[in-house]
């Protein structure tokens, strides 16, 4: 049942009950919900481009781009608009239907807005769905991106509210919610999810999904990222979350947010074909394609062609 459609908030106890279901029953329920809204043999192909890399003043414990950690990543400047436009054209030619742009900032400067808006318009001109993540936004900045035609704004909450301070100290969970509210008020859809495998507890994974599902309305796009441990970061030695547990997170997310795109995002490079197949069976219906995902490796077109060909799933 979709509690949001019935006007009922999802309780933590109800979400815990879903996580406790036998795995076959959970997948069955997730697939039943999924097929009411989406074609079971289609997965959206998204491309993610780092338009400004490194040097971020935030101290997110998972991030290679933080200036607080020695990860060997050099800070760069904001890309030229035409270079981004060329990457958008390439993404479209290689089969992507969604183009995401990310900048390693705490928040953009107002002087950056004209270039960001031009990048959005360039990607839209290629017929691509657009998403951008450039940090915390003011109300005027959110309106400017909306007026440029931005479809989605990505601003992940990362983990459960009660776990947030363990991951980052340079901003608060409430700071994230404030930007999400400004984006929503500007008329842009939300892309908001989290990261698993950061040493969080099972209760934290419940709390993450509780926070997402009870947004009003829930995010239209929900990235589920598996941590990619980066040497030099505080979470660089984190063990991977077992594939079945990752699939559980995706299945519960699908049941809680039936109309959302559930995006199997970071971490696919380290996953087996079988693990990715489980996640798609659990209700993930979007992946990032291409060789790079911001600053980390991604499976690339050859591996993806093999995987999705074996599954009989079309990238759209």
SS (H, E, C) 105-121: CCCCCHHHHHHHHHHHH
Mark residue 54 as left, alpha or beta (left: phi above 0; alpha: psi -120 to 50; beta: remaining): left
Which residues are catalytically annotated? 56, 60, 63, 100, 131, 191, 263
Contact by Cβ (8 Å): 61, 165: no
Closest C-alpha among 286, 296, 294 to residue 264? 286
Residue 278: partners with Cβ closer than 8 Å, 6 or more residues away: 243, 244, 246, 247
How far is the CA of 192 from the CAs of 136, 154, 222, in angstroms?
A: 13, 6, 5
Give the residue from 279, 263, 266, 273 showing the smallest Cα distance to 302.
273
Distance CA 232, CA 85 (A): 33
Cα torsion angle, 278, 288, 240, 269, sign: positive
């Amino acid at each position: 049942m979709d509690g949001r459609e019935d006007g009922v908030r999802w309780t933590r106890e109800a979400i815990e009950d879903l996580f406790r279901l036998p795995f076959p029953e959970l997948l069955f329920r997730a697939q039943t919900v999924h097929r009411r809204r989406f074609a079971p043999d289609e997965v959206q192909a998204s491309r993610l481009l780092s338009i400004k890399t490194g040097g971020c003043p935030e101290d997110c414990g998972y991030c290679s781009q933080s200036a607080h950690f020695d990860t060997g990543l050099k800070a760069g400047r904001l890309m030229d608009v035409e270079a981004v436009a060329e990457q958008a054209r390439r993404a479209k030619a290689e089969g992507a239907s969604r183009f995401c742009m990310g900048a390693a900032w705490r928040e953009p400067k107002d002087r950056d807005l004209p270039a960001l808006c031009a990048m959005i318009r360039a990607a839209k001109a290629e017929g691509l769905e657009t998403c951008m993540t450039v940090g915390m936004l003011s109300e005027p900045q959110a309106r400017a991106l909306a007026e440029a035609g931005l479809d989605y704004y990505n601003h992940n909450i990362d983990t459960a509210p009660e776990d947030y301070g363990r991951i980052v100290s340079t901003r608060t969970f409430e700071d994230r919610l404030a930007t999400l509210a400004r984006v929503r008020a500007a008329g842009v859809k939300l892309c908001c999810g989290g990261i698993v495998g950061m040493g969080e507890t099972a209760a934290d994974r419940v709390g993450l999904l509780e926070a997402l599902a009870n947004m009003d309305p829930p995010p239209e796009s929900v990235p589920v990222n598996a941590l990619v441990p980066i040497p030099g970061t505080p979470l660089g030695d984190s063990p991977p979350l077992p594939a079945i547990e990752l699939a559980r997170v995706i299945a519960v997310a699908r049941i809680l947010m039936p109309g959302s795109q559930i995006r199997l995002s970071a971490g696919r490079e380290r996953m087996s074909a079988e693990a990715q197949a489980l996640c798609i069976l659990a209700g993930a219906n979007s992946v990032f394609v291409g060789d790079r995902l911001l600053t980390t490796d991604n499976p690339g077109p050859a591996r993806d062609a093999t995987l999705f060909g074996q599954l009989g799933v079309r990238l759209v």
